[in-house]
Amino acid sequence: MNPRIKITGISGSLRDNSSNTNILRQLAAMIPAEIDFTIYNGIGGLPHFNPELDGEKPPIPVESFRQLLKETDAVIICTPEYAFGVPGSLKNALDWTVSSGELVNKPLALITASLSGGKAHAALLDTLTALSTNITEERSLLISFIRSKLDEKGFIKVPELLRALQTLLRSLAETCRQEHNSR
């Protein structure tokens, strides 16, 4: 019997009804039954990264975030681009993992969904490479002009995009299965 796969979604937007959070919700509905998918909503509650706080006893929200990342098999980040860059709260969350290493070799998928998104996507790929995550081209998706691809309820209405998201999910799940089988 295969162990259950745990995937955590992180939205780079703090707005509850953002396109990015809605994409994660839509992914949750597409997840196969053998996968547990949770959306982490706590990046806005993490304190500003400060190396002086990053000792043996970091702030409680940071400890909780790190523990969640340790316990998950894979991460999906879905983020907008703000002012041609990475949203500060998302970058802050990633900064908290540098010294502790929860994302090292962790299977990860990156979806950047914004008006343009190219600059944030490239910057995040650089950051995720620096963090030594396990990200592949197949699990990296840039969705420009996102609003034109959503219906009035905020769900994706473009069949090709839905197929791209399914491919991304399949790749992430397969990587997790392979890692479980190699243990």
Cβ-based neighbours of 54, under 8 Å, separated by 6 or more: 62, 96, 99, 100
Residue 143 sits in which domain range? 5-182
In 10 A of CB 124, how many CB atoms? 25
The CATH number for 144's domain is 3.40.50.360
What pLDDT digit, counting tens, does each position of 113-160 carry?
999 999 999 999 999 999 999 999 999 999 999 999 999 988 899 999
Given a contact cutoff of 8 angstroms between Cβ atoms, the answer to whether 90 and 127 are in contact is no
Cα of first residue to Cα of last residue in the chain, in angstroms, is 14
What pLDDT digit, counting tens, does each position of 51-99 carry?
999 988 999 999 999 999 999 999 999 999 999 999 999 999 999 999 9
DSSP single-letter state for residue 18: -
pLDDT above 90: percentage of residues in the chain: 90
Count of structural domains within the chain: 1
The pLDDT of residue 1 is above 60: no
